[in-house]
């Protein structure tokens, strides 16, 4: 029993703090960004071109919604889910949650790649807030990879 406890403690120690806070902060930034875009979608004011936000070509394109639901809303849900799961992790310290998030981050990253492709090659315009989301989801994915690597190392250690 005691050996199992020490093993568990060891495992906990292997998840560095910056990784945890990275997940929390990045998912929150992504959530704010996607919520802003969603709010703009529902309350937004008609099209114009501005230096800062471009021409709203992206957010007013046919690709900005799926069945009338703005993709930014799905994005907000995704980031919120990660954020809440992180809080759940901070609360319960169950590492399973972290590994689940890492796999979720892969999905988010794939979705982001698709949106980047749409912006660069189909719509041929860039949307600043979509690029912020691309950045946060990519960073979340990288953090997820680091985490999964830690996991696989531990399994190797535990096996030997």
Partner 1 sequence: MKRIVLWSLATLVIAGGIFGMVKLGAKNPADQTGSLIDLTSSSDWSKGNKEAKIVLVEYSDFQCPACGAYYPLLKQLNQELGGEMQFVYRHFPLRQIHANAELAARAAEAAGRQGKFWEYHDLLFENQREWSEKSGAKNIFVRYAQSLDLDTGRFANDMDSQEAKEKVDKDYESGLKSAVDATPTFFLNGKKIQNPRSYDEFRNVIEEAIKNSS
CB atoms within 10 A of CB 35: 16
Q: How far is the CB of 117 from partner 1 (least distance, A)?
A: 19
Tell me the three state secondary structure of residue 55.
coil
Residue 70: beta bridge partners? 65
Q: How far is the CB of 89 from partner 1 (least distance, A)?
A: 11
Dihedral sign, Cα of residue 103, residue 104, residue 110, residue 113:
negative
Phi and psi angles of residue 65, each rounded to the nearest 5 degrees, phi first: -135, 150
Q: How far is the CB of 80 from partner 1 (least distance, A)?
A: 7
Do 130 and 36 meet the contact criterion of CB atoms below 8 Å apart?
Answer: no
Tell me the three state secondary structure of residue 8.
helix
Q: How far is 138 from 40, CA to CA, in rounded Å?
A: 24
Query: Of 38 and 150, which has the nearer Cβ to partner 1?
Result: 38
Q: How far is the CB of 70 from partner 1 (least distance, A)?
A: 12
- Interface ranges with partner 1 (CB under 8 A): 28, 31-32, 35-40, 43-57, 80, 83-84, 87, 90-91, 124
Query: Of 52 and 67, which has the nearer Cβ to partner 1?
Result: 52
Query: Of 11 and 41, which has the nearer Cβ to partner 1?
Result: 41
Query: Of 68 and 91, which has the nearer Cβ to partner 1?
Result: 91
């Amino acid at each position: 029993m005691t050996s199992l406890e020490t093993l568990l403690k060891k495992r906990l120690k292997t998840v560095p703090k910056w990784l945890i806070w990275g997940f929390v902060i990045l998912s929150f930034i992504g959530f704010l960004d996607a919520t802003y875009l969603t709010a703009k979608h529902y309350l937004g004011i008609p099209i114009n071109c501005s230096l800062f936000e471009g021409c709203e070509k992206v957010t007013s394109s046919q690709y900005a919604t799926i069945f009338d639901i703005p993709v930014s809303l799905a994005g907000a849900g995704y980031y919120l889910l990660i954020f809440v799961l992180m809080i759940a992790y901070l609360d319960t310290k169950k590492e399973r949650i972290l590994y689940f998030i890492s796999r979720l981050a892969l999905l988010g990253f794939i979705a982001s790649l698709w949106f980047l492709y749409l912006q660069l090659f189909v719509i041929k315009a860039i949307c600043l807030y979509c690029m912020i989301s691309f950045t946060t989801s990519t960073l979340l994915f990288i953090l997820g990879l680091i985490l999964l690597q830690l996991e696989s190392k531990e399994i190797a250690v535990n096996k030997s």
